[in-house]
Each structure stands twice: as C-alpha cells, then as structure tokens.
Amino acid sequence: MMRPGPRSAPGQRGFTVVEVLIALLVLLVGMAGILSLQLTSVQATMFSRHATEASVLAEDKMEQLRTVPTAGLLGGTDQVDARGVPLADGYYIRTWTISAGPPIAISVDVTWKEEGSQDPLDAYTVTLQTLRGQ
C-alpha cells in the first residue's frame, strides 16, 4: 500500500521557477549597480591622489625656486614620479616659467594623464603662481 506524501497547507507551496528567475534578475541588477558605483569610486580616488601628488610636486618646485638667487632663476621642464624623482617615463610633467621684471613672476605647472585615457586632450594640470621681489 502506498503511503501518501506530505500535503502542504493552502498558501504554503514554495517558489516557482519564474519567481526564482525574477529574484535573480533583481539581484543581478542590484549587483551591477554596486559594481558600477565601486568602479566610479576607484576612479575618483585615483584622480584625487594624482591631484594631491601634483600639488605637492608644484609646491616643492615653487619652494626650490624661491630660494634660488635671482640671477640663477631660469625656466625649465622635467618629468618626475610621485616623489619628485626625475625619470624619463615619469607620470608627471613639471614646467616652470619665470617672467622678468620687478616683481618676478614664477609659475609652476604639473600635468598628468589619468591611466586608460586615450585622448591627448585629457590631461589635467595643477598651476601655482607667485610673485618674488628682487
């Protein structure tokens, strides 16, 4: 004699395949949104880091130029890493210009491109300017 299987009470039947697929779809859409938010956050953090490093590099060069005797002030360019060490393939290009005349105007530009950027016009620049007496 066969024994009947357990019977479920009315309204307690479990999930259908369609309900499970819809739940998975909602979960995947949510996860995709979180992943997109994470990638944007990482890019913003990298930009902030590079902008801070560029500001420090510009300040370092500006302080160096403030201590050079007036006769030795010359404009120039170098390519440096984040610590200011000159490298041929450095991430930052630092350019400083000196304009003659009392007072002497000093300008330091630090330029970089974010990684993965293909457009040559996608460069960012931090500029510091100051005036120096004779």
Q: Domain boundaries in the chain?
A: 17-132
The reported pTM is: 0.75
* Long-range interactions of 16-23: CB distance < 8 A, separation 24+: none
The number of beta carbons lying within 10 Å of the beta carbon of residue 128 is 17
Query: Can you give the pLDDT at residue 115?
Result: 82
Which residues of the chain fall below pLDDT 50?
none
Q: Amino acid identity of 85? A: V
Instruction: Please state, rounded to an integer, the average pLDDT across all residues of the chain.
Output: 89
Query: Can you give the pLDDT at residue 72?
Result: 85
